[in-house]
Amino acid sequence: MPLVKIDVIRDAWSPSELTKLADVIQQVMQTHFNAPARDRYQIITQHEDYELVCEDSGLGFTRTKKLVIIQILQQGRSAAQKQQVFKELSEKLQQNCSVSGQDLIISCAENTHADWSFGMGIAQFMTGEL
């Protein structure tokens, strides 16, 4: 059950491009993190270009207005799975959404079953509903 936050620069993406971007990300979550089809939680936030400061960490990358930052909150995936997701996201987003690898930043963070409520203030993983 990954929660995916997608940050982009406002006006760099059309609504249909954002939908495609989110769809491709979800396909990768299903393939490599085994997320069920109806287990889709994505937040797309558009920022003014001055609100996203993303330098190259000395790696020589050139960022453009097509910058995409993906934060994945998830649990129980191995380092190998995460590396495969990073690689697959880079490849699929370049193929399907024209996102340059230099414009893609991905971060994975972990939490536990006790950290989720999907509604009604109930921790459904803890109660056995999920």
The per-residue pLDDT for range 15-63, each reduced to its tens digit, is 999 999 999 999 999 999 999 988 999 999 999 999 999 999 999 999 9
What is the per-residue pLDDT for 110?
94
Q: Is the pLDDT of residue 121 over 90?
A: yes
CB 22 within 8 A of CB 43: no
Sign of the CA dihedral with 6 first, then 12, 14, and 17 last: negative
- Hey, is 69 helix, strand or coil? strand
Catalytic residue among 2, 6, 8, 25: 2
CA separation for the pair 48, 8 (Å, rounded): 9
| 1: confidence class by pLDDT, cuts 50, 70, 90 | confident
Q: Strand order of the sheet with strand 68-74?
A: 41-47, 3-9, 68-74, 104-110
CB atoms near residue 121 (< 10 Å): 5
Structure tokens at 34: 């085994």
Its pTM surpasses 0.85: yes
Write down the CATH number for the domain with range 3-127: 3.30.429.10
Is 36 noted as a catalytic residue in this protein? Answer: no
